[in-house]
Structure 1
Amino acid sequence: MNLIRQHAEVQFSEELAELKKQDTGHLPPNWLLTPQAVVTYLMGGKLKNGFEVSPKYIGDRRLMEIAVATLTTDRALLLYGLPGTAKSWVSEHITAAISGDSTLLIQGTAGTGEEAIRYGWNYARLLAEGPTEKALVTTPMMTAMKNGKIARIEELTRISADVQDTLITVLSEKTMPIPELSMEVQAIRGFNVIATANNRDKGVNELSGALKRRFNTVILPLPDSANEEVDIVRRRVASLAKSLELPVQAPALQEIERIVKIFRELRNGVTEDGKTKLKSPTGSLSTAEAISVVNNGLALAAHFGDGNMNAQDLAAGIMGAIVKDPVQDKIVWKEYLETVIKSREGWKDIYRACRELS
């Protein structure tokens, strides 16, 4: 099958296999790799046999060590941070390296009910036979418990508080009661949960104190430096362009650097040199959005240009990422365009392209 995107354990199967060959440490129950090897998979590095493992997370290694170590205990892991700080990406890759299966996923929304976390019923069978094990519809959480794997919950704070609290028994007692059948599912060693939450959703459905105590929280920050952020964008764009088979030249490093600079300055409310204070737009202007802008520019260059991404290919994506509120953000963007970009040496092309769209 010609899939748009493969699961991490498939896409990086060669790296995981090489790490497994070289892995000589103590394996926690039902883990495929040792905690040290999992962190190497996440951060990248050269193995003893010279094999290169690509970095999946570019940032503080200690954060990844804390996250992985948490999963060896009886505490679940909560990855918390701004949109676009690689929470889902890290969750998927940690699970792929530990369990070899990143697909045990529950997507949190306002409409997520208890049956998405605990279990559901095949109603045709339920009506015909009554409550039986065969009529039970298992969830990713139940499957993870039965097989000693890691379940993932995306956007935990999007789930209503009463549904969130169904996790308390699962996380504290490692048990899922099924009162209709007078039975329970007990977790096999190796079971744990990784949840993600967006701090822009703070106050939407706050976790109860009881549930917070069941999680160890690791805050994933925005990249510390511009160089670090440029490196993340460059690597992800190269990977995505390859998987999408875009017939286009790789973007010039200068173009990625310009997008990252624009996003960082507006995000921080000050120019890189610290001389000019700026208003910040309502959006997060995350690294993920910078990646999206470059990919959109590559698609325009490939299908409606000469295959070389230029300022005109980037302008629409930049404006789309910044101007989320058509009134407030438009003022912020116009001010930045006229006071910063216009006077910046070597930026005339991007100024003209954005000005034409404005």
Structure 2
Amino acid sequence: MSAANASIPVAILGVTGYAGEIALRILLSHPRFTVVHAGSDRLGGQKVADAAPSFAGETDLVMSPDTPEAIRASGAKAVILAKKSPEVTKVVPELLKAGLKLVDIGAEFRLHDHAAYKKWYGDDHACPELLPTAVYGLSEVHTDAIRSASVVGNPGCFATTVILPLVPLLKAGLIDLAAPLVSVSYSGLSGAGKRHIESNNNLFYAVNENLHSYKAVGHQHTGEIDQELSLAAGIPVHCSFVPHLAPITRGIHSTITVTVKPGVTQEQVVGAWNAAYGKRPFVRIRKTPKDVEVANTTGTNFIDIAAALDGRTLIIASVEDNLVKGASGQAIQNLNLMFGLDESMGLLRRGM
């Protein structure tokens, strides 16, 4: 294999969580990336296939603790951080010093300001000196910055569905910012992770044949949504964001309502989207919100968007798979960019 096509070794920290498992599944068939470290502090020494039987026959990887020593010993050149615990962030400076590149699927590197991080996550950051230079990893919005980044903070699953359709409209000056911006969003149960979270009421019995909101004010994704919308608009912008748990396993559906400026047409909205995303592989612009369904994106890295105009009220529908485009798929899309590969490599398939 030539140097230009050589395998790139990757470490996954937190391989047994939902995001870690999906990252591993994608990378096992990726043409260029090879997993050399499957990390688990709790299950070190066990085979991945024993902890996650769906991998039986696919990999003989044995899990190792997520220590800097174990990661460096693996020979990894890149790290996917698939743990949500802020504690694991403490290993990041040492890995960067060793020359590794990192994509964090958790929330540690999404916000550029330490005060904002403390506001939305209620604690100090383990390495706040890295926040100003970490790149927010919305692949279609910050492409060039991601290509040259050492640390990428992967967007939140909800946030991706809200920010991606709104950024081109804000940059084009189509939205009346004197009026409210609102997103009512629905996530499958996997979005809450594998553990029971009492405040989310995410046990099966509470979600089956039911639908409920949680954190109607103050959900942590609001911080990154406001950060990115404000950057696009050039002035402070706030979006009221109301998340819900829906009785499905995977997928996110956001219904976003904004007010457009007088005279703005639906053709201008679609034109702004086409100008921004028309040549990008994973953004599919649908004809009407009726065409935007969660099932059409399940197991893929696609995000589908559409809009309808009711007077000056623009109604946007946006869907994705929360575990792929909303997490591990976008992380690998970002890794592709960071290593100079085609952004779609290993991702143009269904069933991830």
TM-score bucket of the superposed structures, by smaller chain: under 0.3
TM-score (norm 2): 0.27
TM-score (norm 1): 0.27
- Higher Rg: 1
Q: Hey, which of these two has a bigger chunk of helix by percent?
A: 1
Higher relative contact order (CA 8 A, sep 6+): 2
Q: Hey, which of these two has a bigger chunk of strand by percent?
A: 2
